[in-house]
Amino acid sequence: MANAKEANFKALKNCKRDDYLQLDDYFMIIAIVTAQRSKDPSTQVGAVIVNEENRIVGVGYNGFPQHCSDDVFPWHKPEDVGSDDPLQHKKLYVVHAEANAILNSNCANLKNTRIYTTLFPCNECTKLILQKGISKIYYISDKYADKPEFQASKIMLDAAGKEYKKHKPTINEFTINIEQTSMMFLFSCGNMLQMPPKAEKKKKLQPFVSTIDPSRHAEALKQLEDRHAEEARLAEIAAEEALEEEGEEEEDEEYSEELMENEDAIMIGRIDMAFPETTEEFADSELCYPPSYYTLSPKERLILLYVENFRHQYIINNPNRRPLVMALPNECKVQKFVCTTIRPTAFLHVPLIRNAEECAKFVADFIIYEPLEDMMSFSFVSSS
């Protein structure tokens, strides 16, 4: 029976390849790849924690804490930017890779695990490693061996009887091809893992093609500039006149006029109140609108004052731009319009302002309106 089983096993062919990654190389390469997530322009460090079953239980790289933006906090030392402010030092804010790997671990108990890190841990990370019971440390670089922080690390590790050793790779290079983009990790001089320099991408410059020929359209451009200048001058004069008139009137005074039969607009002071086309079907009766539709309330006049002030400041601050024209609806929805010019004008031509309601909100969203009477609540006189 035993001979039969042995014969069956001998009949199987073992096709296992011999150039597969060894475990220590595998985990160290993952640490190197993890380091590439770091935003630090000078030092990128990655760390991987592995348990006794050779399963990864934590990874980390050097970076800022959560909710601390990579675009706000410093990635430099004060002397690098010509500053003497100690708060400009990145070491005050960066969480090291080993600490992040411990904090990110998916298990509470890290006893008898081992950590693979691209840089020998500092004294603060070593404290965490000892406190969590990590038994072995594998590293690639020990470039800060002469600094007190790293000398203190070795003193603590020796006192605790923990093993730490420089990783000795079994392969010379490892290449990853991602969408025809080659990424190569080199095991070279002194067993130091290095990344090749990244090739700079050439920026594609889009050719700029002007649609205006100055020599051909010089006269048209001159006329356009003259027209804009004239519009700005007239708008400034109109704004000054409107401000003077507003100053002469009492704030609480109300103007009222009866709407003339078969007329679509009336003059109140020097402000026009125009009705849209929807008024034509009710033009035969004076009772088709509530009395409030024929008045200009103090709040409406206050809004007009804000509008004129805005337009006046806009002209002063932007003398070379086309002057604004404002038309302002009130709480009567689309039935009543007031404007800041002598004659009825069009709305402000801005793509984001698509209707009367948005225009009103643009100039006076902080004004508290009191609802006026609803036009539909009034009885209409039959034209018959």
Q: Could you tell me if 174 and 29 are in contact, meaning their C-beta atoms sit under 8 angstroms apart?
A: yes
Largest CA distance in the chain: 119
Q: Catalytic residue among 98, 246, 300, 308, which?
A: 98
- Specify whether 254 is catalytic: no
Task: Give ∠ CA 243-245-250 in degrees, rounded to 5.
Answer: 110
d(CA 311, CA 321): 12
Q: Could you tell me if 122 and 164 are in contact, meaning their C-beta atoms sit under 8 angstroms apart?
A: no
Amino acid, res. 185: F
Other CB atoms within a 10 A radius of the CB of residue 93 amount to 15
d(CA 265, CA 278): 13
d(CA 98, CA 115): 8
Q: How many residues does the chain have?
A: 384
Which one, of 338, 332, 336, 250, lies nearest residue 298 by Cα?
Answer: 250
Q: Output b/e per residue, 258-278; b: 16+ Cβ within 10 A.
A: ebeeeeeeeebeebbbbbeee
Strands 271-274, 192-194: pairing kind:
unpaired
Strands 136-141, 114-119: pairing kind:
parallel
Residue 271: strand, helix, or coil:
strand
Which residues are designated catalytic? Answer: 98
